[in-house]
Amino acid sequence: MIKSIPIPGIEDFDKPYWENCSKQKLSIQHCADCKAPRFPPRHMCPKCQSLNHEWNIVSGDAILWSFVVPRPPLLPVFENQSPYVVGLVELIEYKNIRIIGEIKSKSDIDSIKIGDTLSVRFKKINNEISLPYWVRE
Ligand SMILES: [Zn+2]
């Protein structure tokens, strides 16, 4: 039984991503040779197979590309948070990069819709992990 939310494991190749999240900054991995952005972080460039990579800080501004509102029955750790919105956001700076995260809204979550404009925030889970989530203003 899951007693808390699953926490991502940190590997050598994605450690900068989590370090930047802990500093309240969203970063995207790029190939250091052909400069292609990629997400999620991985060892090898899918375009040129280079193992060299670099990280660029991005604004985190995004458009809501798709979303779901999980409803009970859910595992207890998630049922306690329900209702909540899980979104797939498309970054403004990179149309080919979509990231999953919680979507929060100052107004009723039932008014959330595809195409909403979002900005990134970070929720500290522990000293190594801060999870990005997006807020509709
Ligand atoms: Zn490449």
Per-residue pLDDT reduced to its tens digit, 74-127: 988 888 888 999 999 999 999 889 999 999 998 888 899 999 999 999 999 999
**Count of the separate structural domains present in the chain:** 1
Question: What is the 134 CA–ligand 1 centroid distance (Å)?
Answer: 29
- Segment 4-28, tens digit of pLDDT: 777 888 888 899 999 999 999 999 9
Smallest CA-to-CA distance from 68 within 83, 54, 57, 78 is with 83
Rg (CA), the chain: 16
120 found inside a domain = yes
Q: How far does residue 36's CA lie from ligand 1's centre (Å)?
A: 6
Is 3 a domain residue? no
Q: How far apart are CA 87 and CA 69, in angstroms?
A: 9
User: 131: CA distance to ligand 1 center in Å?
Assistant: 27
Distance in angstroms (rounded) separating the CA atoms of residues 41 and 16: 10
Q: Is 63 exposed, middle or buried (0-12, 13-18, 19+ CB in 10 A)?
A: middle
Domain of residue 118: give its range. Answer: 15-136
Q: State the pairing for strand pair 26-31/98-105.
A: unpaired
Is 6 inside any structural domain?
Answer: no
For residue 30, the CA-to-ligand 1 centroid distance in Å is 8
Cα 92 to ligand 1 centre (Å) = 21
Ligand 1 mean position, distance from CA 57 (Å): 18
Residue 5 lies in a domain: no
| Ligand 1 ion: Cβ-proximal residues, 5 Å cutoff | 31, 33-34, 36, 45, 47-48, 50
Q: Is the dihedral of CA 82, 130, 24, 100 positive or negative?
A: negative
Q: What is the pLDDT of residue 1?
A: 64
Position 9 in a domain: no
- Distance set, CA 125 to CA 21, 29, 60, 61 (Å): 11, 22, 19, 22
**Which 8-state DSSP code applies to residue 81?**
T
Residue 91 C-alpha to ligand 1 middle, in angstroms? 20
Residue 118 lies in a domain: yes
Q: Kindly state whether residue 2 falls inside one of the protein's structural domains.
A: no
- Asked if residue 4 belongs to a domain, the reply is no
